[in-house]
């Protein structure tokens, strides 16, 4: 792999850009791999990358039924933060946020990480108490966040209306080191690095069955034939229940549609990320100038990658009270993704009833921020059979009642 650098840009500029290589290979599958990862989204590719980087396991295939990064990785609102209430969550999300800081250098691929700061608005008395509690918890966890008063909110976000009739802004939880990144670049950067280590990324190859022998995984059936493996990692987000069913077990999970939209591009108006959980909306401005707006999930199970129209209306209706200037903007486009929501709204990084098969799922409405940390932890779990970051995130915690209840800290948007 040729490294990207200022020198490479200059060199290619002088020869009409004829020397750029493909960023990753598109090989046919081999008969057998040490590890197969199902799902070439951010989490799957990150898992493969850290298997190679941290544990030297490079005989790996990443199998994807669609195209690389075409699922939720390419559909989210790119928010990165780690201001969670519970210790296990803060540990893995903060690991992830800190990996994002140097990800461009690690991957030699510009993921455009922008630590512009994330503000979670408190618009009810309950939220004031909840966020103050989270700020204290974060202080104990070593995650820098602070509670700020309305005056400071207005200072860092001038377009906000503090005295809305229904939901005035009463303060906020501010994480200055949170921010955004370019979502496609995260998938592409990991894919390029994986391919460089000799891993095979096999797109347009759907897994149709999981092969087991004596309760142990031995391979998968795919639309490109059977492929053997010693270990299998399922990292398929909204389709985790479908993959689990192929392997003969069920998950405590439901798949629902989450949608987002962008406005027409405008000049820079807001240089932070704002989340308003009471009204189910979150907002940031992309580098292109579009206001990126995320909404709530539909209430019913859905695999169609599109959400209900009325949720768009509800999200925007609520947001324009706090951001009146948005009412003048046209909507450019809207889309949906299928998110995997667990009983306690926290993810599962877990062994399964099938020996040698692991699942990384349940990131629900907030997986993008967790991609590097999730891959790091999942790689350790798959290579060593345990990881301090995944201990609490087992799929059996629901039977034991050991929930990681983030509904207070995260609300709907996370």
Partner 1 sequence: MLILECPCCGVTGEETEFHAGGEAHLKRHSVGSTDDQFEEYLFMRENPRGVHLERWRHNNGCGKWFHAARCTMTLEVFGTYPAQTYEPPQEIKDAISAKRPGWSWRNFS
Q: Applying CB under 8 A, which residues contact partner 1?
A: 239, 241-242, 250-255, 298-304, 308-310, 342-343, 398-400
- Find the shortest distance in angstroms from Cβ 379 to partner 1: 27
- How far does the chain reach from its first CA to its final CA, in angstroms? 36
- Find the shortest distance in angstroms from Cβ 209 to partner 1: 15
Cβ nearer to partner 1, comparing 30 with 310: 310
- Find the shortest distance in angstroms from Cβ 33 to partner 1: 26
- Find the shortest distance in angstroms from Cβ 313 to partner 1: 10
Cβ nearer to partner 1, comparing 204 with 310: 310
Cβ nearer to partner 1, comparing 15 with 399: 399
Cβ nearer to partner 1, comparing 215 with 299: 299
Asked if 40 contacts 245 with a C-beta cutoff of 8 angstroms, the reply is: no
Burial of residue 250 (CB within 10 Å: 0-12, 13-18, 19+) is: exposed
- Find the shortest distance in angstroms from Cβ 402 to partner 1: 12
- Find the shortest distance in angstroms from Cβ 204 to partner 1: 19
For the beta carbon of residue 235, count every other beta carbon within 10 angstroms: 28
Query: Can you tell me which residue has the tokens 């995944």?
Result: 390
Cβ nearer to partner 1, comparing 270 with 318: 318
- Find the shortest distance in angstroms from Cβ 304 to partner 1: 6
Asked if 146 contacts 117 with a C-beta cutoff of 8 angstroms, the reply is: no
Please state, in angstroms and rounded to a whole number, the distance separating the CA atoms of residues 250 and 58. Answer: 30
Please state, in angstroms and rounded to a whole number, the distance separating the CA atoms of residues 156 and 163. Answer: 16
Asked if 241 contacts 257 with a C-beta cutoff of 8 angstroms, the reply is: no
Asked if 194 contacts 48 with a C-beta cutoff of 8 angstroms, the reply is: yes
Say which residues have a Cβ less than 8 Å from residue 116's Cβ, sequence separation at least 6. 178, 179, 180, 271, 272, 273, 284
- Find the shortest distance in angstroms from Cβ 66 to partner 1: 14
To 5 degrees, how large is the angle CA 160–CA 163–CA 165? 115
Taking every pair of Cα atoms in the chain, the longest distance, rounded to a whole number of angstroms, is 64
- How many helices, marked H, and strands, marked E, lie in the chain? 12, 18
- Find the shortest distance in angstroms from Cβ 316 to partner 1: 15
DSSP-assigned letter for residue 355: B
Cβ nearer to partner 1, comparing 21 with 400: 400
Cβ nearer to partner 1, comparing 67 with 303: 303
Cβ nearer to partner 1, comparing 82 with 342: 342
Asked if 190 contacts 51 with a C-beta cutoff of 8 angstroms, the reply is: no
For residue 176, the number of C-alpha atoms closer than 13 Å in the C-beta half-sphere is 7
Please state, in angstroms and rounded to a whole number, the distance separating the CA atoms of residues 238 and 143. Answer: 29
Please state, in angstroms and rounded to a whole number, the distance separating the CA atoms of residues 361 and 77. Answer: 19
Cβ nearer to partner 1, comparing 158 with 299: 299
Please state, in angstroms and rounded to a whole number, the distance separating the CA atoms of residues 373 and 227. Answer: 28
Cβ nearer to partner 1, comparing 144 with 252: 252
- Find the shortest distance in angstroms from Cβ 388 to partner 1: 25
Asked if 88 contacts 141 with a C-beta cutoff of 8 angstroms, the reply is: no
């Amino acid at each position: 792999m040729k490294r990207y650098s200022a020198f490479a840009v200059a060199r290619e500029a002088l020869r009409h850009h004829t020397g750029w290589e493909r960023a990753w290979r598109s090989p046919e599958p081999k008969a057998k791999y040490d590890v197969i990862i199902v799902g070439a989204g951010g989490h799957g590719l990150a898992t493969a990358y850290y298997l190679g980087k941290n544990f030297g396991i490079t005989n790996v295939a990443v199998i994807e039924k669609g195209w690389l990064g075409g699922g939720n990785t390419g559909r989210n609102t790119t928010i990165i933060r780690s201001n969670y209430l519970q210790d296990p969550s803060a540990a893995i999300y903060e690991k992830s946020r800190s990996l994002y800081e140097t990800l461009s250098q690690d991957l030699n691929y510009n993921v455009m990480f922008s630590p512009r700061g994330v503000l979670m608005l408190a618009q009810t008395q309950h939220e004031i108490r909840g966020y103050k509690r989270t700020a204290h918890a974060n202080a104990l966890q070593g995650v820098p966040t602070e509670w700020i008063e309305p005056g400071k909110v207005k200072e860092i976000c001038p377009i906000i209306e503090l005295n809305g009739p229904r939901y005035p802004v009463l303060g906020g939880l501010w994480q200055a080191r949170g921010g955004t990144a370019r979502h496609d670049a995260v998938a592409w950067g990991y894919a390029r690095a994986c391919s460089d280590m000799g891993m095979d990324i096999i797109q347009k190859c759907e897994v149709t069955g999981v092969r087991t022998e004596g309760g142990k995984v031995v391979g998968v059936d795919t639309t490109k034939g059977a492929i053997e493996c010693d270990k299998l990692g399922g990292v398929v987000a909204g389709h985790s229940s479908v993959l689990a069913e192929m392997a003969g077990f069920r998950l405590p999970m439901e798949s629902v549609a989450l949608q987002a939209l962008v406005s027409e591009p405008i000049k820079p108006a807001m240089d932070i990320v704002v989340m308003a959980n009471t009204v189910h909306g979150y907002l940031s401005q992309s580098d292109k100038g579009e206001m990126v707006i995320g909404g709530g999930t539909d209430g019913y199970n859905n695999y169609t990658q599109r959400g209900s129209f009325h949720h768009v209306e509800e999200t925007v209706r609520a947001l324009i009270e706090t951001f009146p200037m948005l009412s003048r903007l046209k909507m450019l486009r809207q889309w949906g993704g299928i998110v995997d929501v667990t009983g306690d709204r926290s993810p599962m990084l877990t062994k399964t009833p099938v020996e040698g098969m692991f699942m990384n799922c349940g990131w629900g409405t907030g997986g993008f921020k967790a991609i590097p940390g999730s891959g790091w932890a999942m790689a350790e779990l798959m290579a060593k059979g345990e990881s301090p970051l995944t201990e609490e995130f087992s799929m059996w915690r629901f039977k034991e009642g050991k929930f990681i209840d983030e509904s207070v800290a995260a609300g709907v948007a996370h």
